[in-house]
Amino acid sequence: MFELLLCSFLTILPDYLYRRYGQGKRIGKEITFYSVWFELRWGIVACLMLTVGLITVIFYNHPSTTNATAFFRTVPILPETNGRVAEIYVGITDEIRQGQPIFRLDSSRQEAAVELARRQIAEVEAALIVSQADIQAAEGRLQEARGAHQQTVDELEAKQEIQRRNPGAVATRDVEKLQVALQSRQGSINAALAAKAQAEARIATLLPAQKASAEAALAQAQVEFDKTVVRAGVDGRVEQFTLRVGEIVNPFMRPAGVLIPEGAGRGRLQAGFGQIEAQVIKPGMVAEATCASKPWTVIPMVVTDVQDFIASGQVRSGELLMDAQQSRQPGTILAYLEPLYEGGFDGVTPGSNCVANAYTSNHDLIASGNVGTLKKLALHGVDAVGLVHAMLLRIQALVFPIRTLVLGGH
């Protein structure tokens, strides 16, 4: 309507002035309600054509969208294991800091596993003490065996000396018995050495390995025990946390609640423009937005990034072949808008619905001197008609509260 009114001043109004003062025709006489089309046909046709052209130029070079929202991501509150809620540390809605506990699951099984691991460590430590005693006992047996061996050696040497000096004085059978006893005493020494080496190896290798395994089991049990206390991974706010003591929480089917990270949805706006504006929307474009949660306010913004992909074209592998006809809803070009001035987005509630305009600027191209006069005029005209969209956005910002609260019955 605004474009039609503007174009009528350049087409219908001059046509009427010519009919009135050039041809002397008067309203109510020659120009009546029934003769308007015939008398002003040139102005009406030109007005319609100019209006269509102006709307096309405005909407293409200065795109607008009502699909603008301050999106934010929520973090589901999930334990790493199933369990029954034993204690809750926060309310239905509450501020929370990173690492702060949110709720605790029943931990009787995990506590038993921790205690078992501690008992196993104590058992290994007791075995170390026993092994020390085993070494002492093996050392005593070794000394005993060496003493008996030395005694047998002395006795054998004495009888062999007697037999050498006085053959027949000592029975050959007695010498043979001492030789066999000497071998037996050497076997006792070897057995005592082996027992001592076994006890030392048990202290040096086996028991430390068993203790390390028990400590690892304790650490694992402690980790499982710590998982029963669910803590906040980021700073934020817990909302609609209706979990109660005694409920069963399942990380795959039943989350406990929602955590909104601090700063989520603040300071950035995501706007979806039509696909036809893919060649127009560029980073660095000046934009404006007005949001429902901050009425009667136009926020100066700038396009900081443009997504290179259209979400409606994504496919997910499955058992069925893709049919292009199933994609009925055309996607949009997603652009990220940030406030041009610090604090410009303050007061806008995350998730708020907004209306956004982006404006094409050809100032740098015109100032470069690389374009001709006609093109300069055309580019100046393109930049100038952005004022129409700016006015329309302000009218929307002005009318929206009235339309919502009065005409909408809210």
Are 217 and 117 spatial neighbours (Cβ–Cβ below 8 Å)? yes
- Using CA atoms, how far apart are residues 12 and 402, in angstroms rounded to an integer? 33
C-alpha distances (whole Å) from 19 to each of 24, 26, 49, 349 are 6, 8, 21, 56
pLDDT band of 182, cuts 50, 70, 90: low
Output b/e per residue, 344-362; b: 16+ Cβ within 10 A: bbeebebebebbbbbbbbb
Q: What is the pLDDT of residue 262?
A: 85
C-alpha distances (whole Å) from 61 to each of 85, 232, 273, 357 are 57, 46, 12, 10
* Mean pLDDT calculated for residue range 277-303: 90
Q: What is the pLDDT of residue 300?
A: 92
A 10 A CB-CB count for 313 gives: 10
Q: What is the DSSP letter of 265?
A: T
Structural element, H or E, at residue 189: helix 172-201
Whether the predicted pLDDT of 410 surpasses 60? no
Are 72 and 260 spatial neighbours (Cβ–Cβ below 8 Å)? yes
Q: What is the DSSP letter of 409?
A: -
Give the pLDDT confidence of 294-320 residue by residue, as tens digits. 888 899 999 999 988 888 777 777 777
Has this prediction a pTM greater than 0.75? no
User: Tokens 């219908």 appear where?
Assistant: 12
Three-state secondary-structure class, residue 254 = strand
User: Tokens 């170390």 appear where?
Assistant: 128
C-alpha distances (whole Å) from 171 to each of 175, 179, 181 are 7, 13, 16
pLDDT band of 7, cuts 50, 70, 90: confident
- How long is the chain? 410
